[in-house]
Amino acid sequence: MLAKRIIPCLDIREGNVVKGIKFGSLRNAGDPVELAKMYCDAGADELVFLDITASKEKRKTHMALARRVAEGLDIPFTIGGGISSVEDARAVLSSGADKVSVNTSAVKNPSLISDLSEVFGQQCVVVAIDAKRSPSTQSGFTVCTYGGSFDTEIDAISWSSEAEKRGAGEILLTSMDKDGTKDGYDIELTQAICSTVSLPVIASGGCGKIEHFLEIFKCENPADAALAASVFHYGELAIGQVKRYLLSNNVVVRDDLSGF
């Protein structure tokens, strides 16, 4: 059985880490370089860096900042935001990323997923899906783009399947309904995606207490990784604490907890 991963996320706006509720009401959560180093030292399995306004502002990822973050890491590092071509991805990977995350650009041009997979390998391509409940789709979940500001009316479950067929190596699934609420991951949405694709799925949105990690890993169709932000940014939980708790509840994690 593969170990479950614990992944902090740095949502970046104007050079700072921010966190909000349902993709709005953003507030400052700290310096990205300092937080990244702290999470690396604390035993994070991976780190995700998302330039959340890049697509909406029609610009590229804040590359200089991403490079500074990467310099302090020795764990897998994913960068997303404003990546719309093979050239953009190459620049991000050259700046220290191990994986690229695409969302808006992939929805607008699904062949981008195939292009990235063919050039860099499937293991480098993360398709991020920002989904919310909607009566307009068959599954009841719709895909949103441009930092959650535009409802595509594309069925989120169908899109996850297409992303897999086109060469995605992983799905980063964020529930917009749960984001920042701290009342738990969206189990229904996560299970629907996990039962549809054979790819690793990272669950995101809603983590507020340690039990929520157990819930997303113990449900019928569990996620392969759990992403969290505010509970780590504001010191409510520590990564080592989460891993020890999961181990005590028979969840396999990467358990090098020395120094925690």
Tens-place pLDDT, residues 52-107: 777 777 777 778 898 999 998 999 999 999 899 999 999 999 999 999 999 999 99
Class for domain 5-248, per CATH?
alpha beta
Find the catalytic residue in 130, 155, 179, 186. Answer: 130
Residue 79 and residue 92 in contact, taking contact as beta carbons nearer than 8 Å? yes
Q: What is the pLDDT of residue 72?
A: 86
| Residue listed under structure tokens 């169908």 | 158
User: What are the structure tokens assigned to 60, written together?
Assistant: 């590229």
Token digits of residue 42 = 């604390």
- Residue 174's closest CA among 164, 162, 189? 189
Supply the DSSP string of 166-219, one letter for each residue: TT-SEEEEEETTTTTT-S---HHHHHHHHTT-SS-EEEES---SHHHHHHHHHS
Mean pLDDT across the chain:
92
Whole-number pLDDT of residue 256: 58
User: Is 45 an annotated catalytic residue?
Assistant: no
**Single-letter amino acid, residue 220:** E
Tokens of 158: 């169908």
pLDDT at 40: 95
Mean pLDDT across the stretch 202-230? 97
Which of 17-21, 70-74, 161-165, 224-228 comes out lowest in average pLDDT? 17-21
The reply to whether 130 belongs to the active site is yes
Spot the catalytic one: 11, 155, 179, 186. Answer: 11
| Position 24 pLDDT exceeds 70 | no
Full-model pTM: 0.92
Alpha carbons 71 and 84: distance in angstroms, whole number: 24
Domain spans, the chain: 5-248
pLDDT at 250 over 60: yes
